[in-house]
Amino acid sequence: MKRYVALYRKWRPQTFSDVVGQGHVVRTLQNALRTGRISHAYLFAGPRGTGKTSVAKIMAKAVNCERGVTPEPCNECIICREISSGGSLDVIEIDAASNRGIDEIRDLREKVRYLPNRCRQKVYIIDEVHMLTPEAFNALLKTLEEPPSHVMFIMATTEPQRIPLTILSRCQRFDFRRLSTRDIVKRLHQVAVSCGYSVAEDARWLIARHAEGSLRDALSILDQCAAYEEEITASLVLDLLGRIPIEELHKTVKAVMRAQPAATLRLVDEALAQGKEAVQIAQDLIDYLREAVLVLSGASEVSSLTREQRHLIAADFSLRRTVQLLEALSQCLRDMKWSPDPRVDLELALLQVAMQGDDAPTPECEEAAMTASAPDDAQGRDQEARGQLDLRSEWPRLKAKLREMLRRTTFAYLEECVPLDLRGDRLRLGFRYVAHVEGLSAPGHLRALEEALEKLLRRRVRVECVRLSTDEETEEPQESFTSRQEEVVQRALELFGGMVVDDRPPQGDAGGE
């Protein structure tokens, strides 16, 4: 039975023109081959799967091709075919991870003195060279300083910072870049067409995104998907990779945006019940939120999202809240590395954002508001007996919420203001300086403040900015926040699963009866 060859091996670049995403490296090497300025030692540094070893073998063919030193090997002569197949005695590939000691390097120093068997140059390709021991590096140093004229070293590494400077100074260094998602998608399309696979566009984008700049990883994923079914869809890719479907991610984010903690926890619980890990859920949410930010900010390239999914994001999410959730989950993912229970970290991160406000009223909030805002006569009389919370004593807590909801430039004006009175839907704020009055009164700042207050107080608020007189700086507000608004918040939190919090600062005598 004929042995199957993996796609990443079958589609390994055989010429410089086949190399994807490393134009700066290819052009420099080809110019050196044309002009004869070929170094005796090269260092190829970069992430995994970006073509370091492939370019090293192409370089070995280019300097040894039977047609002469050429910027593009023929791949037809015996030497080129032997190097491509790994059967050349003059092109030696060494894995430094398993041959890292001084004895192996001493053996190499002895063998470099012998002339090549058939090629012009004996080429040593040392992969993962950073794994060599300090003693092995010292043994290699002398050979790199004064190498025989028939020997070339090409070293590859993913961690160039671990290589001694004495070695680096004797090599020409080339830094390989991560491949762009678009380049990987294009290559996947070429491979799929050639192999007869049917790969949906959103599936190609998902594979490319998961590969994280590594073409080898992308081809391995495509190979795995094709082994399952030759018609490859986005749902198939997600299933094989163990990723959460985009529809479920959208529901979870939407529940957070709409301040629905119960629904948020239920969706997380369903994902965990399906075998997903909390860390994977957080990472999938982060990836989705990043794409949502691209959609909401008008970026031209949005990876795996279909047009319908982009429309849903634009309709259901706001850029401010999306960035807020993305930041919270990014911090959560960092904390999970040291957490004994990552699930709790994930749930807390989602709940904290959900409880900071919403992008649209929810049935639970509306029910809580109606219940708290329409008490019976006895309850109303009881509220009057207990008195009202003082506006100025309540202002610090309200301002703390506004700090989380507003841009820094808008909130900066509130640091200097004094709350004067709240009459109906009009809130008067006093300022010492005219510049602050004019600044916050600008349409953009004022509209943002009024929208934030409307979400916090559950009613329309019109803000009026005025200059303080000497008397007004010490004047008490003429109307205060009622405890009814406190009950709205408490009742809503009870509906969200019994999480009742009271983050008011101590009131002392200011808000007493």
- Residue pair 180/50 in contact (Cβ under 8 Å)? The answer is no
- Burial code (b: 16+ CB inside 10 Å, e: under 16) for 259-292 equals bbbebbbebbeebeeeebebbbbbbbbbbbbebb
> Where does the pLDDT of residue 303 fall: very low under 50, low under 70, confident under 90, or very high at 90 and above?
low
pLDDT at 305 over 80: no
Confidence of residue 385 (pLDDT cuts 50, 70, 90): low
Q: Which CATH class is domain 7-175?
A: alpha beta
pLDDT at 501: 40
CATH topology of domain 246-354: Zinc Finger, Delta Prime; domain 3 (1.20.272)
Give dist(CA 67, CA 447) in Å, integer: 73
pLDDT tens digits for 130-181? Answer: 999 999 999 899 888 888 899 999 999 999 999 999 999 999 999 999 998 8
46-50, 204-208, 325-329, 505-509: least confident range: 505-509
Nearest to 54 by CA among 18, 28, 23: 18
- Judge whether residue 498 has pLDDT over 60: no
Task: Quote the mean pLDDT of the chain.
Answer: 81
Answer with the residue of higher pLDDT: 387 or 85: 85
pLDDT higher than threshold 60 for residue 507: no
Reported as a pLDDT band with limits 50, 70 and 90, residue 361 is very low
Amino acid occupying residue 432: R
What residue ranges in 207-323 does DSSP mark as E strands? Answer: 231-232
Q: Report residue 471's pLDDT band, with 50, 70 and 90 as the boundaries.
A: low
Least confident of 55-64, 100-109, 429-438: 429-438
* Percent of residues, the chain, with pLDDT higher than 70: 83
Assigned CATH topology for domain 181-241: Helicase, Ruva Protein; domain 3 (1.10.8)
Q: Where are the domains of the chain?
A: 7-175, 181-241, 246-354, 390-481
Tokens of 189: 């399309």
Instruction: With a cut of 60, say whether residue 218 has pLDDT above it.
Output: yes
- Model pLDDT for residues 12-46, shown as the tens digit of each residue: 999 999 999 999 999 999 999 999 999 999 999 99
Looking at domain 390-481, which of 3.30.300.180, 3.40.50.300, 1.10.10.10, 1.20.1600.10 is its CATH number?
A: 3.30.300.180
State the pLDDT at residue 298.
Answer: 75
pLDDT at site 20: 92
In terms of pLDDT, which residue wins out, 344 or 436? Answer: 344
Please check the confidence at residue 477 and state whether its pLDDT lies above 80.
Answer: no
